[in-house]
Amino acid sequence: MTGNETNQQAGRRPPVAEALDALFDPETIAVVGASRTRGKLGQQVLALLRSNGYAGRIIPVNPSGGEIEGLPAARSLEEIDCPIDVVILATPVNIALDALETCARLDVKAVVGVTSGFSEAGGDGHANEARLRRILRDAPFRLIGPNCEGVVRPAANLQLTFSPMFNGLRPGPVAMISQSGALAGLMALRLGERGVGINAIVSSGNESDLTAADLLEHLGNDPQTAVVLCYVEELRDGRRFAEAARRLVQAGKHVVAVKGGRSRAGSRAVQSHTGAMAGDDRVISAIFRETGVIRAQESVAAVDAVTALAAGRRPAGNRVGIISVTGGLGVEMTDLAESAGFEVPVLAETTQQALSQYVPFYGSVTNPVDLTGVVLANPTYVGRCLAAVAADPGVDIAIAIITFVPDQQFIEALAEAYEGTDKPVLIVWTGAARSSASGDSLRDRAVPVYDSPARAASGLTALLPMKGEVR
Amino acid sequence: MTPRETLEAWQRAGRRVVHEADAKALLARIGVPVPERDPAGGRCVAKLCHDGYPHKSDHGLVRLGLTPEEAVAAVAEMAARIPGGTPLIEAMEQGAVAEWIVGCKRDDTFGPIVLAGPGGILVELIDAAEIRLAPVTQEGAAAMLGTGPGARLLEGLRGAPAADRAALARLISRVSVFFAENADLVSEIEINPVMVRADGKGLVAADALIVLAPAVGNKEHDA
């Protein structure tokens, strides 16, 4: 039985929107399994919730009562004397199931189950799953998970998770839905490093109740969301996911998806050519393309795609202008752009004249522009050259490639040139780790910065997908 | 009996793979052009259709380019070998400029989908089919035909006449709508090949197959 069928059978379940509104902006959170013992899930959840500055009421729930992390603990959920927006379950599976039964009798809006030991576990897990489904059949709350890493919402200082991978994120346009908690952490960390802001992250786990399609609809419709990033292994409600994605794309938003487990062989006997030709992976690629979902080959490519899209600038066409402090990287970027279906046209006469003021005779002002090492001695030149290329009427997207950076002024000049144009700009900074200059002025503006031409090509492809998936 | 009632009757009778003669008769009722049956003259195709033998040519159950008299003799010979089959004698289509496959199936993830691409023997050679959620509108089907390597085949390669893309788009849309409306009863519909004539001259379904879903309460046999 799928999660979807369960939902359809249940007439009395509360609306998804009501539960998720409460989940993402809760006034009261109960942490079941809150503990004083370092290393326990419940201790980590409570500590992260506290250290990230959540301002609402937190109620630790522990049978021994007393105080935990300086907060008065309830001995049970029943002891709590007010409505509870969110219950997070961080206990062994049997205690979690008992708590879910209690939640069904109380005024609880949403439950987040980081507890494992259900269908994913086999053996006893199946019995636990069956009990879970019985509880969910007419539960007055909605469940995220179980077997998930939790929920993160930077704007509400909300960290409902045991994982420290989501610390220090800033609010912004990206919503993330991941069936793998670890991949959510990897992607969040990398987006955070680039200054890309996050609206919400949901690790959806087993999706015994709320599915990726539910979350896509809700988070996608949130006006704060401009880009939705999804990692999925099994789409339980694929039709609704696809229809929701199509509506979001039509509304001008972006959906980037990584589909894991693509090599799963079909087990059903094939009666026809149609069956053989429409294999699982082919169909997913085709339907994603049809509905406007940008498919990324793996999670890092997806992050690269989202980094470019989150900047919120749309290219008018496929013509790329490239400036580089070195010939070799400019050539590689050109090759990658062209093989992704982009053009790297010769720049306009006036642009070439403008560039000639800064580029010595042994450089090149056509496209890709080879600035040569001279620009390293004149830190503002690189910014002026980027501005000149971005202003070219024959250029839709500008790419600036730098290696090591001589001083802070060099980076400030690039950031200024980025602000000075409405066109998409990507920056390849190969020497980031070794440079003395700080990239904060780029991060603060969430300028798409990549560490190699290949990674920048993933971002470029997402801006105007022409040939298949983002690699 | 409506086409849906026919499907239900087949399902009740325990049929799984519905043979070409019955499949075509049903598809003709929803507006799919099929070849003339039992023609008085011209070149004919002789077939023996049987649910148990969906791959007819592997069993010598297809003969091409016969006179009407030869066709009658051919089906008699086939019927003597394979009892219980349905003889089918049709006019042989000779004006086609492209052979296409049009298929529908229920995908485990997305539900009803429709596929269209270069068909006939090209299915074995290149896998260039376009896939969409079913049903597709006629405009959606036309967009499928304008995408991918198959588009150039339909345009007419190297001076060959262009195929009747409008007729093909109508057929794709019509079959996908019928499939999506009856996806609880049907697992797959496949027409392969559709013989597409030059622009304005239409097309015919040269072969077809319908795979029924198992009756409700019998789902475990589907896995």
Average pLDDT for A328-356: 97
Whether pLDDT at A161 is above 80: yes
A172-213: per-residue pLDDT in tens? 999 999 999 999 999 999 999 999 999 999 999 999 999 999
Beta partners for residue A110, in sequence order? A86, A142
User: Is the CB of residue A77 less than 8 Å from the CB of residue A125?
Assistant: no
Residue A20, token pair as written in the block = 């998720």
Residue A222, token pair as written in the block = 């949130």
Provide the phi-psi class of A184: left if phi over 0, else alpha when psi is between -120 and 50, else beta.
Answer: alpha
Under DSSP, is residue B101 helix (H, G, I), strand (E, B) or coil? Answer: strand
Whether pLDDT at B220 is above 70: no
**Of residues B103, B109, B130, nearest to A273 (C-beta):** B103
What's the rounded Cα separation, in Å, for the pair A431 and A444?
19
User: Is the CB of residue A310 less than 8 Å from the CB of residue A196?
Assistant: yes
Kindly state which CATH superfamily the domain B3-34+94-222 is placed in: ATP-grasp fold, B domain (3.30.470.20)
Q: Does B107 contact A283 at a Cβ distance shorter than 8 Å?
A: yes
What's the rounded Cα separation, in Å, for the pair B203 and B169?
11
What's the rounded Cα separation, in Å, for the pair A151 and A162?
10
Q: How many CB atoms lie within 10 A of CB B146?
A: 14
Average pLDDT for B120-144: 91
User: Is the CB of residue B176 less than 8 Å from the CB of residue B104?
Assistant: yes
Q: Regarding beta strands A150-153 and A158-160, do their DSSP bridges make them parallel or antiparallel, or are they unpaired? A: antiparallel
**Of residues B109, B131, B211, nearest to A272 (C-beta):** B211
Residue A149, token pair as written in the block = 């890493």
What's the rounded Cα separation, in Å, for the pair A18 and A123?
35
Q: Does A278 contact B103 at a Cβ distance shorter than 8 Å?
A: yes
Quick one: pLDDT at residue A3? Answer: 43
Domains delineated in chain A = 3-309 (3.40.50.261), 317-456 (3.40.50.261)
Q: What DSSP character marks residue A166?
A: G
Q: Regarding beta strands A84-89 and A28-32, do their DSSP bridges make them parallel or antiparallel, or are they unpaired? A: parallel
| Neighbouring residues of A189: CB distance < 8 A, sequence distance ≥ 6 | A165, A166
Beta partners for residue A232, in sequence order? A259
What's the rounded Cα separation, in Å, for the pair B196 and B169?
11
Beta partners for residue B66, in sequence order? B44
Q: Quick one: pLDDT band at residue A422, thresholds 50, 70, 90? A: very high
Chain A residues touching B209 at Cβ < 8 A: 271-272
User: Is the CB of residue A136 less than 8 Å from the CB of residue A10?
Assistant: yes
Any CB–CB contact under 8 A between B143 and chain A?
no
A60-103: per-residue pLDDT in tens? 999 999 999 999 999 999 999 999 999 999 999 999 999 999 99
What's the rounded Cα separation, in Å, for the pair A287 and A302?
18
Query: Among all residues of chain A, which has the CA nearest to that of B106?
Result: A275
Interface test with B, best of A211, A246, A272 (most B CBs within 10 A): A272
Quick one: pLDDT at residue A11? Answer: 56
Phi then psi dihedrals of residue A261, to 5 deg: 70, 35
**Of residues A239, A275, A286, nearest to B188 (C-beta):** A275
Chain B residues touching A235 at Cβ < 8 A: 109-110
Q: Which residue has the tokens 């894991």?
A: A260
User: Is the CB of residue A280 less than 8 Å from the CB of residue A266?
Assistant: yes
Q: Does A282 contact B223 at a Cβ distance shorter than 8 Å?
A: no
Burial class of B105 by CB neighbour count within 10 A (0 to 12, 13 to 18, 19+): buried
Q: Does A271 contact B104 at a Cβ distance shorter than 8 Å?
A: no
Q: Where are the domains of chain B?
A: 3-34+94-222, 44-91
User: Is the CB of residue A284 less than 8 Å from the CB of residue B109?
Assistant: yes
| pTM (2 d.p.) | 0.92
Whether pLDDT at A270 is above 60: no
Whether pLDDT at A136 is above 70: yes
